[in-house]
Structure 1
């Protein structure tokens, strides 16, 4: 009886890479996967025209990658990518979905008369077994600032298990970007923090006056909580290009055919940015990503499609940009250079969230280097 229980417990847990603590699969499902089981969540992604157009064009402008081929769609969701692959000529598509959204995907496939081509499989990619290797793996795995959610781990697992040696990945490449920005959000967040502390101090006075208990010993931990929430947690935002005050720089480049999980556990970069605005505020840094559908060296795409989440004055994406706000802000001028040390790792208590250490220094036009400033952020 004990061995059976231990075996069941082992099945509920999956070891993470690089010797990190095991992740309870049931907890992970409750915290992460279950959100994708709702149609309203799928609708948000399906309504993102930039996202949809990029995948649609990458498939239908590169039909030679799909005609007569076997395809694996990792995290199929509604099943729309699998449907496009079949419509482009794939002979077989395995559409894998970890949540009950698989039921809806199966219905959608059948209603589009593609059930003879597409097989919807409910289960995690780490656990399922396919009857054959595939020519193409397609997946929309990108989270906020590319790597939040850590879904790319599952795509890498699928690649290593099921992709043929000469197979291709859709998307094939990815890049992470960072640039200095100006934003009124920094002032708003500081105001929110100060307001929460004013409210706390009023609460302390009332509690002592009415109930005779002095709770001021909790002021420091309360302040730390509020600082993390308002000042140290990066925020999602849809930036306008005019808010970018310096040249963007690449933090990391990824070849989806070759990268390992170990290589994405930590993103480290030393970059610089040249200020492009005259006498402006440096209020933080904005991060975004792009992915490309290039095929492979042996089997390149006929049409190289890019999906970018860079700041846009037209149609943005549901990913927006990840914004790391500075308190206090600094003043910079055109021609000055900002040097940034960036490090992003996974949170210890939730491998799908991230923590960031960011240090920056400014080289003024006179050549003087201002003291380095170090900040910590959380991507939640």
Structure 2
């Protein structure tokens, strides 16, 4: 699967088929189910941030939540969710969470959000969770996911792309250097994604035509969702940042985040291309 990210925006999530596609990912589903079962206590009030079709809200109720507030930005998606999730304990709120007032809902015990996106932070989860945390999370409340780590590795892939970034499957044998952690975000304290970091990789085989990226999300104390090439593939796959063919013994690259169409994207620039 090769999916170009250039021109992508959050408006893509108006497509119900896209929501149904991610619901087929059993690794994703199992991980969030286990995390909710671990975190949610009987009578907890839960906020599902980026409600979608309501799958996580249903899991929260199964885990003992007394009420779930689901915030969803797209009208057609929330209408479809209402047809699928009919439990009166679920209360729907239409709009962007950042535009809702503090008194739009009561304080909550748990915030859960699967707005992970590309590289774990692509859909601006850090910003949206930070806003919700400040407005609605009780003292000592819980957040799912708690942490997100981003990783990068040089690769040589048989098939490359002229796009600046592509979502695709990266096989372990494509890696030509040791992966390094690019960034780590704590959703209990961080407010936004700001990355501007230099990484230096020693190469195996000296040929490189891109960088691959992926993420690990610590959903709860005992549940981690790992999208690395060494794990079974998920709906997120990995990200490829093509750079053209190069032959080097080592490569230094700058990685910088930027926002476009409401998304957080990465610009990967080796020193030789500056």
TM range (shorter): 0.7 to 0.9
| Structure richer in strand, relative to its length | 2
Query: Are 1:85 and 2:60 matched, yes or no?
Result: yes
Alpha-carbon contact 2:143-2:187 (below 8 Å) kept: yes
Alignment of 1:22-171 (within 5 A): 32-60=9-37, 62-63=38-39, 65-99=40-74, 100-110=76-86, 114-115=87-88, 117-128=89-100, 129-171=103-145
Match of 2:225 in 1: 307
Q: Cα–Cα, structure 1 residues 233 and 151, in superposed 2: closer, same or farther, change >3 Å?
A: same
1-side partners of 2:259 and 2:9: how far apart?
Answer: 15
Q: CA deviation at 1:357?
A: 4.4
Give the stretch that moved more between structures: 152-161 or 122-131: 122-131
**Which has the bigger relative contact order, CA under 8 A and spacing at least 6?**
2
Cα RMSD, aligned residues only = 2.1
The partner residue of 1:287 within 187, 200, 213 is 213
2-side partners of 1:58 and 1:134: how far apart?
Answer: 17
Unpaired runs of 5+ residues, structure 1, are 1-30, 190-229, 295-300, 360-371, 376-380
2-side partners of 1:126 and 1:325: how far apart?
Answer: 34
TM-score of the aligned structures, taking structure 2 as reference length: 0.88
Alpha-carbon contact 1:141-1:152 (below 8 Å) kept: no
Alpha-carbon contact 1:357-1:374 (below 8 Å) kept: no
Query: Are 1:316 and 2:233 matched, yes or no?
Result: yes
Q: CA deviation at 1:355?
A: 5.1
Unpaired runs of 5+ residues, structure 2, are 1-7
1-side partners of 2:197 and 2:266: how far apart?
Answer: 15
SS at match of 2:115: coil
When the two structures are aligned, how many residues end up with a matched partner?
264
TM-score of the aligned structures, taking structure 1 as reference length: 0.65
Q: CA deviation at 1:32?
A: 4.1
- Compare CA radii of gyration and give the structure with the larger one: 1
SS at match of 1:236: strand
Query: Are 1:352 and 2:269 matched, yes or no?
Result: no
| Structure richer in helix, relative to its length | 1
Alpha-carbon contact 1:177-1:287 (below 8 Å) kept: yes
